[in-house]
Amino acid sequence: MKLIAALAVVAACGSTLAQDGQADPARKVRDKLASMRITLDFKDARLDEVIAYFQEYSGLNFHLDADARAKVDADGAKITLKLKDVSLSTALKLILNPRDLGCVYRDGVIVIATRAGLGTQTVTRVYDVRDILFQIQDFPGPKLGLKDKEPGIEFRPLEEPTTLFTQDILPDLIKVSTGDRAWDDSSASIQQIGGLLVISQTRGVHDEVRRFLDLLRQYK
């Protein structure tokens, strides 16, 4: 179970951008955000100041849209945050998530917008996960012992493998890895039919689902 919990944490923290029909550019930007390390020490800073620093540090284009700017101005909250050697992706999440903001990659620019403004239109997709189910197992090794009361090695039959991952917990793992709040919308759903997952979600969450399933496949 520790392996599965670790995978859930990695998937939850490794994806910041929602896709907007530009898979390859968005993936490159997302990988850069995940790989770049940053140290922050902000005290009572405005969001636009923090975003300007991210842009200068990363060389990526950021834009705070009008609705997000209006929301931040209305809240009047300033940013106080001190971090050491974290990924830019993690830093961005810690800045945006508490303010109900997110970001999407559009035409070479990381657009920061309200969650509502990022687009709530759901898309239904089917994922074949038959190759994942019941594949992550813990096989005990052969037991050493005495054979016929004389020194030697006895290779006893292997015990049945202990299953660490079953289909019953897959939907819950996906919800945790993509953020539970993403499933609060009544139009979002996840259903398991045999070895298939039928998921209705935004394109951004679908991107995180694919990434999480890819992580699981690495440990088959």
- What domain range includes position 110? 7-118
Residues 210 and 141 in one domain: yes
Q: In angstroms, how far is the first alpha carbon of the chain from the final one? A: 14
Which CATH number fits the domain that encloses residue 75?
3.55.50.30
Q: CA-CA distance, 88 to 62, in Å (whole number)? A: 13
Q: Which two tokens stand for residue 27?
A: 């993936």
Q: What is the pTM of this model?
A: 0.50
pLDDT per residue rounded down to tens, the chain (220 residues): 444 444 443 343 444 555 444 446 777 888 888 899 999 999 999 999 999 999 999 999 999 988 888 888 888 888 999 999 999 989 998 999 888 888 888 778 898 988 777 765 677 889 998 888 755 445 555 555 555 555 555 555 555 544 445 667 889 889 888 877 778 776 788 988 878 899 988 877 888 899 899 988 887 6
Contact 8, 177 (CB under 8 A): yes
Candidates 36, 31, 38; CA nearest to 14 is 31
Could you say which of 65, 83, 118 is where a domain stops?
A: 118
Question: Residue 2: inside a domain, yes or no?
Answer: no
Question: Residue 208: inside a domain, yes or no?
Answer: yes
Angstrom distances, CA of residue 159 to CA of 19, 145, 146, 163: 45, 16, 18, 12
Q: What is the residue type of 132?
A: I
